Chain A
Amino acid sequence: ILGGRTSRPGRWPWQCSLQSDPSGHICGCVLIGKKWVLTVAHCFEGRENAAVWKVVFGINNLDHPSDFMQTRLVKTIILHPRYNRAVVDYDISIVELDEDIVETSYVRPVCLPTKGQLVEPDTYCYITGWGHMGNKMPFKLQEGEVRIISLERCQSYFDLKTITSRMLCAGYESGTIDSCMGDSGGPLVCEQEGGQWTLYGLTSWGSVCFSKVMGPGVYSNVSHFIDWIERQIYIHSFLIN
Chain B
Amino acid sequence: CISQACSGACANDPNCGTPHNKTNCSQCEPITLELCMNLPYNYTHFPNYLGHRTQKEASISWESSLFPALVQTNCYKYLMYFACTILVPKCEPETSQRIPPCRSLCKHAKERCESVLGIVGLQWPEDTDCTQFPDEKLDNQTCLMPDEDVEECSPSHFKCRSGRCILASRRCDGEADCEDDSDEENCGCTERGLWECPVNKMCIKHSMICDGFPDCPDELEEKNCSSCTNDELECANHECVSRDRWCDGVVDCKDSSDEWNCVTLSKGVRSLLTIHRSASDHHVCADAWDDELTHWVCKQMGLGGPSVAEFAQEADHLEHNKMLHLIKDWKKKNGSTFHELLMKGQTCESRAKVSLTCTREDCGHRPAARMSKR
Contact = CB atoms under 8 A, between A and B. Distances in A.
Interface of A: 8, 10-14, 32-34, 82, 105-106, 108-112, 189, 192, 195-198, 230-231, 233-235, 237-239, 241
Contacts of A192: 364
A34 B259 CA distance: 23
A111 B260 contact: no
B335 A238 contact: yes
Contacts of A237: 299-300
A239 B337 contact: yes
Given A109-B361, A192-B364, A197-B366, A234 B302 contact: yes
- Count chain B CB atoms within 10 A of each CB in A11, A32, A238 and give the residue with the most: A238
Contacts of B337: 238-239
A175 B260 CA distance: 43
A108 B363 contact: yes
Interface string B339-374: 000000000000000000000011111110100000
Given A231-B260, A235-B256, A238-B336, A110 B367 contact: no
27 contacts: A10-B366, A13-B366, A13-B367, A14-B364, A32-B363, A33-B361, A34-B361, A105-B367, A108-B363, A108-B366, A109-B363, A109-B364, A111-B363, A189-B364, A192-B364, A195-B365, A196-B363, A197-B364, A230-B302, A231-B260, A234-B260, A234-B300, A237-B299, A237-B300, A238-B336, A238-B337, A239-B251
A189 B337 CA distance: 32
Contacts of A105: 367
Given A82-B213, A234-B300, A238-B300, A111 B364 contact: yes
Interface of B: 213, 251, 256, 259-260, 299-300, 302, 304, 335-337, 361-367, 369
Given A34-B361, A189-B364, A230-B302, 10 more contacts: A10-B366, A11-B366, A34-B304, A111-B363, A231-B260, A234-B260, A234-B300, A238-B337, A239-B256, A241-B335
Contact of B365 (A32, A196, A230, A233): A196
- Count chain A CB atoms within 10 A of each CB in B299, B337, B362, B367 and give the residue with the most: B367
Nearest to B257: A231
Contacts of B336: 238
- Count chain B CB atoms within 10 A of each CB in A109, A192, A195, A234 and give the residue with the most: A234
Contacts of B363: 32, 108-112, 196
A53 to B, nearest CB: 24
- Count chain A CB atoms within 10 A of each CB in B259, B302, B364 and give the residue with the most: B364
Nearest to A198: B364
A8 B256 CA distance: 44
Contacts of B213: 82
A11 B361 CA distance: 19
Nearest to B299: A237
Contacts of B367: 10, 13, 105-106
Q: Which 6 A-B pairs have the closest CB atoms?
A: A111-B364, A105-B367, A196-B364, A111-B363, A197-B364, A238-B337
Contacts of B300: 234, 237-238
Contacts of A189: 364
A33 B302 CA distance: 10
A189 B367 CA distance: 16
A208 to B, nearest CB: 22
A236 B130 CA distance: 69
B9 to A, nearest CB: 48
B207 to A, nearest CB: 10
Nearest to B302: A230
Contact of B259 (A8, A106, A239): A239
